[in-house]
Amino acid sequence: MENTDSIKKLVQEKYTEIAEQSGTANQASCCGATNCSTEVYNIMTDDYTALEGYNQDADLGLGCGLPTAFAQIEKGDTVIDLGSGAGNDCFIARHETGEEGKVIGIDFTPAMIRKARENAAKLEYNNVEFRQGDIEEMPALDNEADVIVSNCVLNLVPNKKAVISEIFRVLKPGGHFSISDIVLQGALPDAILKDVEMYAGCVAGAIQMEDYMQLIEDAGFEQITIQKQKTIEVPDDILSRYLDRNALDAFKASGTGIFSITVFAAKPGSTPKTEKRKVKIAETLACCEPGSGCC
């Protein structure tokens, strides 16, 4: 990862490949982007199948959480999904916002946009649209969205501060986001940090959890809460591609943690709708603690 342009080119190339292969193949790999592990389980993805609005054709197994399940979407909301892929989270959000609402998916990869539009056409959804663009400079208006969601995407973006600033710009006053992403506690070995597959696989581009949360606070958000946290265990047969036995043992003994977190935060502002939502969100978050999921 020499520079921002090379990173973006890498991500676009890898996710073009993913868009053109089956969901089964994606779900056998780390965030859909690396070779299959011989340990047969999905490393990051949570099970979407019980959520209303789920569409199997749109599920490429690329996520690391269930942000739409935590996003407190209401009927009539305008929802934006960052890194929308084949449309999975958009279609679940559409179920929540209803026909009277609007859902916008933004993705950097043209092949993903094509696939998402095909899926939306099959479902005959006329209030779901997909825009190709860079989420560091979102193709969206100021104060356009009531809710923003994203699933395992910011770790792929070189300038995370810019994305969070854009989220603040695009949210309406009182609007909020729920984002699932990969973060770290401790240092990854250089061999992993420098590997293109592990970057596209959502690991090498992750930043420290404390830094991630600080970026959100510095952008001006409030009510910042970790709604869910889970540990990501990368199998030895993947790690051994980058680390010899001694380096692998040292890494496992280092205490470095790779985590999926789902983070909630709100943009300051008040309307009758947001006041009602704040009460609902406060009641929900009051019974949730990081690491325990949500009650």
Give the DSSP letter string of 55-120: -GGG--S--SS-HHHHS---TT-EEEEES-TTSHHHHHHHHHH-TTSEEEEEES-HHHHHHHHHHH
pLDDT of 170 higher than 80? yes
Q: Is residue 153 in some structural domain?
A: yes
pLDDT of 22 higher than 60? no
153 close to 147: Cβ distance less than 8 angstroms: no
Burial of 189 (0-12, 13-18, 19+ CB in 10 A): middle
User: What single-letter DSSP state applies at residue 135?
Assistant: G
Q: Is residue 284 in some structural domain?
A: no
Q: Is residue 268 in some structural domain?
A: yes
Question: Quick one: CA dihedral 56, 294, 273, 149, positive or negative?
Answer: negative
Mean of per-residue pLDDT scores for the chain: 86
Q: Give residue 230's domain range.
A: 4-272
Tell me the longest C-alpha to C-alpha distance in the chain.
Answer: 59
Q: Name the region of 262 (left: φ>0; alpha: ψ -120 to 50; beta: rest).
A: beta
Question: Which position has the higher pLDDT, 144 or 54?
Answer: 144
Q: Is residue 205 in some structural domain?
A: yes
* Tens-digit pLDDT profile for residues 94-110: 999 999 999 999 999 99
Side-chain-side CA neighbours of 72 within 13 Å: the count stands at 25
Residues 6 or more apart from 124 whose CB is under 8 A from it?
Answer: none
User: Which tokens in the block code for residue 39?
Assistant: 């340990």
Q: Is residue 114 in some structural domain?
A: yes
User: Which tokens in the block code for residue 162?
Assistant: 């810019």
pLDDT of 33 higher than 70? no
* Tens-digit pLDDT profile for residues 221-263: 999 999 999 998 888 888 888 899 999 999 999 989 999 999 9
Q: Is residue 279 in some structural domain?
A: no
Note the pLDDT of residue 84: 96
The CATH number for 93's domain is 3.40.50.150
Pairing between β-strand 171-185 and β-strand 102-107 as defined by DSSP bridges:
unpaired
- The domain total for the chain is 1
pLDDT of 294 higher than 70? no
Q: Is residue 277 in some structural domain?
A: no
Question: Which position has the higher pLDDT, 99 or 286?
Answer: 99
The torsion angle over the Cα atoms of residues 98, 93, 159 and 15, rounded to 10 degrees, is: -120
Residues 6 or more apart from 74 whose CB is under 8 A from it?
Answer: 96, 97, 146, 273, 277
Q: Is residue 85 in some structural domain?
A: yes
In degrees, rounded to 5, the angle at the alpha carbon of residue 66 between the alpha carbons of residues 170 and 13 is 70
Measured CA to CA, the distance from residue 69 to residue 178 in angstroms comes to 9
From first CA to last CA, the distance across the chain in angstroms is 40
At 286, is the pLDDT very low, low, confident or very high (cuts 50, 70, 90)?
low
